[in-house]
């Protein structure tokens, strides 16, 4: 599994954005919130807000619930909801001491990992290394929570750190909103201008520091997220 630098679990995403970025249908994330499988950690009020760490959790749960194939081509059964709840509880338990000391949670992608073995059983990484929920240590399947994420419903969640080569998502910056690298210019702001009828040249006249490539990638990402919402609403 690939690892990236640990990032703080901040960010605030409404349901539409959380669904489009995570790649998990909106109806599903609302259902998981209602059943308290994954409660949005930023706000549980009428306007629910999910954190960057919640996006990882959404991908974890979705991935565990699907039938999978390991590197050898063998089918790996989906994980039961009971086992998923146990895994999430263990991950939260690992996170608690770090909250008290001001460190980042272990289950963010720079440190923590979740695996599934050939029998569909879950393993997590603890402070001393891999921990098992079922007494096994053999690991045959992994998920890179940052990597592009595709669901059977047809959603395509982008890379959650580098959605395009000239774009970034940084949890502690702009509330985790995708933006043009080395700027505070959000991709959805550029997309809004395009929807208002501005041409590429007109947009670049407003933001002369944005290159043609950066603008094209920003618009492409937002079109991907819009497509995700269309699929999510139809799911």
CB 6 within 8 A of CB 138: no
Encode pLDDT of 143-159 as tens digits: 667 889 999 899 999 99
C-alpha–C-alpha distance, residues 45 and 40, integer Å: 9
CB 89 within 8 A of CB 101: no
- The residue ranking higher by pLDDT, 176 or 130, is 176
Is pLDDT of 120 > 90? no
Q: What is the pLDDT of residue 3?
A: 29
- The model's pTM is 0.78
In 3D space, the residue among 124, 203, 119, 209 whose CA is nearest the CA of residue 166 turns out to be 209
The answer, yes or no, to whether residue 96 has pLDDT greater than 60, is no
Long-range contacts of 117-120 (CB under 8 A, 24+ apart): 117/76, 117/141, 118/70, 118/74, 118/76, 119/76, 119/77, 120/76, 120/77, 120/78, 120/79
Provide the pLDDT confidence category of residue 117 given band limits of 50, 70 and 90: low
All domains in the chain, ordered by first residue: 156-234 (1.10.10.10)
Query: Which residues neighbour 97 within 8 Å (Cβ) at sequence distance 6 or greater?
Result: none
């Amino acid at each position: 599994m690939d690892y990236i630098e640990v990032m703080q679990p901040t960010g605030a995403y409404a349901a539409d954005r959380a669904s489009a970025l995570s790649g998990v249908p909106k109806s599903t994330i609302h259902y998981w919130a209602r059943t308290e499988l994954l409660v949005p950690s930023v706000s549980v009020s009428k306007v629910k807000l999910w954190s960057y760490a919640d996006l990882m959790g959404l991908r974890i749960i979705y991935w565990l619930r699907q039938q999978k194939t390991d590197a050898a081509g063998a089918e790996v059964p989906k994980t039961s909801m009971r086992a998923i709840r146990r895994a999430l509880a263990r991950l939260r338990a690992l996170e608690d001491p770090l909250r008290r000391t001001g460190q980042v949670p272990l289950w963010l992608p720079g440190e923590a990992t979740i695996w599934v073995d050939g029998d569909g059983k879950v393993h997590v990484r603890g402070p001393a290394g891999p921990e098992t929920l079922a007494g096994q240590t053999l690991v045959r399947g992994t998920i890179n929570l940052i990597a592009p994420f595709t669901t059977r419903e047809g959603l395509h969640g982008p890379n959650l750190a580098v959605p395009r080569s000239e774009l970034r998502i940084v949890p502690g910056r702009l509330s985790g909103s995708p933006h043009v690298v080395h700027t505070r210019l959000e991709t959805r702001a550029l997309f809004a201008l395009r929807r208002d009828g501005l041409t590429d040249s007109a947009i670049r006249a407003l933001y002369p520091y944005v290159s043609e490539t950066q603008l094209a990638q920003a618009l492409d990402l937002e079109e991907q997220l819009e497509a995700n919402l269309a699929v999510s609403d139809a799911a």
